[in-house]
Structures are given as C-alpha cells and as structure tokens.
Amino acid sequence: MPTIYWGKAVMTVVHLLNRSPTKALDGKTARHHMRLGMGVVVSYLCVFGRLAFVKELNHIGKLDDQRTLGVFVGYAEGVKAYYILNPAIQCVRISRDVVFGKRRG
C-alpha cells in the first residue's frame, strides 16, 4: 500500500481498537457500548486491503458493468460505509453498496 494511504490504515486500526475488549474495562468493549448496554456488531468488519466491488449507481445501461473493482482501505466515520480505493485512478471513495471478494486460503 502506498504511504499516502497509511493514514486510512491507522484510522482503521483505531476503529477496531475502539470496538475491542480492554483490560481497563474488565474485558468489556468501549465505554459508549457499556453505557448504552449494547453489544458490539462485528458482521460488517473486513480485512484491510481486501478486494471490493462497488456498485455503480450513475448512468449505467442494462448491459454495462455495474460494479467497479476496488480495494478496501477503511471505515467511514459517522456513517455505515467503507472507504474504497479505485486503483485505476488512485481515488478513494465512500460507498455503502460494496461486495467483498472471496478470501484466499
């Protein structure tokens, strides 16, 4: 991953740490989850650098390709969406409509 995207990697680590159990809270998760009495939802988590296919919503014909290949580089703050890097144009976009590629191994 080019160094320009390392900030997204650090923010992804922070996102994961904020949702992980800690010794300071007796093995429980972040304070806002404890205070609200909610469990932590982890079904949306994804491996950093995983292939992702973003659904195109702009001006597509019936037979046009409706997904764009990208790479997962983080979680958008404040919304339920992902940061996806388009390697062809070196642009990061936020999208909710993402399908992740299968894991290897």
Domain assignments of the chain as residue spans, ordered by start: 3-100
- The pLDDT of residue 19 is 76
**What global pTM score does this model have?**
0.73
- The pLDDT of residue 59 is 66
| Rounded average pLDDT per 10-residue block, the chain, 105 residues | 83 82 69 62 80 81 77 89 91 90 61
- The pLDDT of residue 35 is 63
* 39 to 10, 14, 32, 80: CA distances (angstroms): 24, 18, 10, 17
- The pLDDT of residue 82 is 93
Query: Is the CB of residue 63 less than 8 Å from the CB of residue 31?
Result: no
